[in-house]
Structure 1
């Protein structure tokens, strides 16, 4: 499993939304774009995908923008990646992969690959957007302490 540019940009945008979650004030796409250096048009597409996936909600009007649809501690990284990459984390592809392997060696390699994929999904399931925010904030504190 590899983190695509799409997922990375979406995670950066979601971190911005998580940072202001308690204020209940929406962020506009241009604000997120500037803060995280994400192209505007691409960000709009990502946020639309995240909205359809139930991870963000939009608010119209002069003070409109985007907000998290749920609390950041209830949104897992696996949900985010699944929403953007289009896979269902509930499906177990091991049976299909075993059928697709034409040789004994291919079957063994496929089993190991599926095991690695499952390990990656388990790790992503265990981290929430809040965990990423907390880790970022802890690193910021370390950087501040280093310069003092």
Structure 2
């Protein structure tokens, strides 16, 4: 399993919005794109998906932009990934032939792996991600004698 660039860019954009949330600052596409090195057209598409998914709000106008729809501690990383990738997997039905039984067994294991991964993504929120970034930056600034 690998995180797609689509999901990575979406999470980076959400992280940027989470950092601006407490100050109620609206961020424009060009600001997010410049800060996170995401192509503006691609980011525009991702933000539209996140808006339709209810994770962010878009405000029109000269001073408009995007803001999270709810607090960063209320948005799990799984919420974001489901919105962007549609991660829900439906287990396959019972198969009858030998080849179908083999495929069914593989799909069943893949389903179990997806459920385990989803459980991990569900345990972390955007606020957790912000906290981890802050902790890593703090470690970068520390030095030892």
Q: Same fold (TM over 0.5)?
A: yes
The alpha-carbon distance between structure 1 residues 112 and 67, as it changes in their structure 2 partners (threshold 3 A), is same
Question: What is residue 45 of structure 1 aligned with on the other side?
Answer: 45
> More helix per residue: 1 or 2?
1
The alpha-carbon distance between structure 1 residues 104 and 60, as it changes in their structure 2 partners (threshold 3 A), is closer
Q: How does 1:1-148 map to 2 (within 5 A)?
A: 1-87=1-87, 89=88, 93-94=90-91, 96=92, 98-99=94-95, 102-146=99-143
Q: Quote the offset at 1:39 in angstroms.
A: 0.3
RMSD over aligned CA atoms reads 2.0
Q: Quote the offset at 1:105 in angstroms.
A: 3.2
Aligned residues: 144
**Which range moved further: 47-56 or 108-117?**
108-117
* Counterpart contact for 1:26–1:65, Cα < 8 Å: yes
TM-score, length-scaled by structure 1: 0.88
Structure 1: 5+ residue stretches without partners: none
TM-score, length-scaled by structure 2: 0.90
